[in-house]
Amino acid sequence: MDTNFASIITIGDELLIGQVVDTNSAWMAQELNKIGIPVKRRVAVGDTWDDIWYALDEESKHASVVFITGGLGPTSDDITKPLLCKYFGGKLILDEPTLEHVKNIFKNILQRPMLDVNIKQAEVPDVCSVLRNDVGTAPGMLFEKEGKIFISLPGVPHEMKWIMTNVVLPLLPTKTKTTNIEHRTLLTAGIGESFLADFIKVEEAALPSFIKLAYLPNSGMVRLRLTATGDNKTEILSLLNHHFDLFKEKVKDYLVTDEDLPLEIVVGQQLRAKGKTLATAESCTGGYIAHLLTSIPGASAYYKGSVVSYDNSIKTNVLNVPKSILQAVGAVSEETVKIMAESVLKIMDTDYAIAVSGIMGPDGGTIEKPVGMVWIAVAKKGETVTKCFNFRHTRERNVQLTAINALNMLRIANCG
């Protein structure tokens, strides 16, 4: 077995019933990958003593570093700390630096009395190394057993991330063997996964054994990720870049970007680079396109705003879509989105405008206009491009696909 794999155990009944979505292990895996420790397994278990104990036994068979998140709080259902104490053969002691830190939080930050139960946050097994937590009350803990490293972290995301970033990640390379892991990513659009696989089969067959190709389809696009692993960084980078260039040339007609970036960032970078501005007029997506764009820091440099014309009265009174058009061809039509785009372009005084109108479902469809039918328009001064799509998925999926395809139409228009 390789000695540099990691496993992540996430603890909590709330994870198993879907009340809380586990984002911790995804973030941890990304950060560990960066320092050359790939994650081999991720396991979620409930707040059950036997299940946690079994998971520790099982994961230590597969990895040299085992992470545990969750169950370090002061309440009765937080059993991770006493379990780890027994698992590693220690006893709980009061860690004075942690206790002083907890007292300081309650006195100077929370400004409320500290309860006896809060003192328990400063108790740690005497067989662990304490990992300080400057942004919370529960410290992390590091154990070593039979050549394996076990690291227990709080389940609160911002606390876990602070300890990982400031304590664990700098420490791990001194404790375990790491390797070089390098990624290169191409984002493609306009070609399905199976057709893409057939299109690049020659290039894929030519890959050396230490370079793996992954197909990552999502929202009408396919991401190609090349991953190279090895001890000689110079050698693997040279060959990885060579093969990456071959793939890039092969898919150039479908290429969106050669970086691992979402489409909204790619579009934003293009607009910023060309000094162009954008506005949106959204009906069926209810502001989702605006949300994607404004989730990027600095978007105000190129994005001016949106008219969410969910009701037809807004299309008429704000975006100047004639009632006669709505009565004749309806809101979900080429004529309507064309006027919406051209109107918001003028209202916002931008270089580009996107307009969308469709039927997201699950109700509202007809034989002529089924659920998932969407019209998209992209306008610039003197030219408007329109296109009809038929997604026919769930409501959430239809909204996502509408936004992605609208942004991609803008990307193509802005590249021209």
Q: How many Cα atoms within 13 Å fall on the side-chain side of residue 34?
A: 9
| Residue ranges of E strands in 36-179 | 39-45, 65-69, 92-94, 123-125, 129-131, 140-145, 148-153
Percent of the residues in the chain that have a pLDDT greater than 90, as a whole number: 90
Tell me how many degrees the CA angle 203-206-211 measures, rounded to the nearest 5: 95
Q: Domain 6-174 is of which CATH architecture?
A: 3-Layer(aba) Sandwich (3.40)
Give dist(CA 131, CA 365) in Å, integer: 57
pLDDT (0 to 100) of residue 392: 84
User: What integer pLDDT is reported at residue 1 of this predicted model?
Assistant: 38
324-362 residue pLDDT tens: 999 999 999 999 999 999 999 999 999 999 999 999 999
Contact 179, 229 (CB under 8 A): yes
Tokens standing for residue 325: 């058009």
263-415 under CATH 3.90.950.20, yes or no: yes
Q: pLDDT value at position 416?
A: 64
DSSP state of 30: H
CA distance 299 to 307: 17
Bridge partners of 414, per DSSP, are none
- Cα(136)–Cα(138) distance, rounded to whole angstroms? 6
pLDDT digit string (tens) for 234-260? 999 999 999 999 999 999 999 999 999
Q: For residue 100, name the pLDDT band (cuts at 50, 70, 90).
A: very high
Residue 111 pLDDT more than 90? no
Percent of the chain with pLDDT over 70: 99
Q: Could you tell me if 24 and 10 are in contact, meaning their C-beta atoms sit under 8 angstroms apart?
A: yes
Nearest to 184 by CA among 203, 168, 202, 171: 203
Q: What is the pLDDT of residues 156-170, one digit of tens each?
A: 999 999 999 999 999
**What's the rounded mean pLDDT across residues 118-140?**
93
Judged by DSSP in three states, 392 sits in: coil
Residue type, 303: Y
Give the Å distances, CA to CA, from 282 to 34, 332, 341, 370, 393: 39, 12, 9, 19, 19
Nearest to 95 by CA among 134, 70, 121: 121
Tokens encoding 261: 């970036």
Residue pair 99/137 in contact (Cβ under 8 Å)? The answer is: no
For residues 9 and 410, give the distance between their C-alpha atoms in angstroms, rounded to a whole number.
Answer: 42
pTM: 0.82
Which amino acid, residue 122?
A
In sequence order, the 6+-apart residues with CB closer than 8 A to the CB of 45 are 9, 10, 11, 16, 51, 52, 55
Sort 34 into a burial class: Cβ within 10 Å, 0-12 / 13-18 / 19+: exposed
CB-CB contact of 47 with 11 (8 Å): yes
Q: Give the confidence band of 397 by pLDDT, cuts at 50, 70, 90.
A: very high
CATH architecture of 180-257: 2-Layer Sandwich (3.30)
Which residues, at least 6 apart from 212, have a Cβ–Cβ distance to it below 8 Å?
226, 227, 228, 229
State whether residue 72 is helix, strand or coil. coil
Q: Is the pLDDT of residue 173 over 90?
A: yes
Tokens read off for 290? 């605006």
6-174 and 263-415 have identical folds: no
Is residue 32 scored above 80 in pLDDT? yes
Among candidate residues 161, 162, 164, 142, the one with its CA nearest the CA of residue 152: 142
Whole-angstrom distance, CA of residue 163 vs CA of residue 72:
14
What are the extents of the domains in the chain?
A: 6-174, 180-257, 263-415
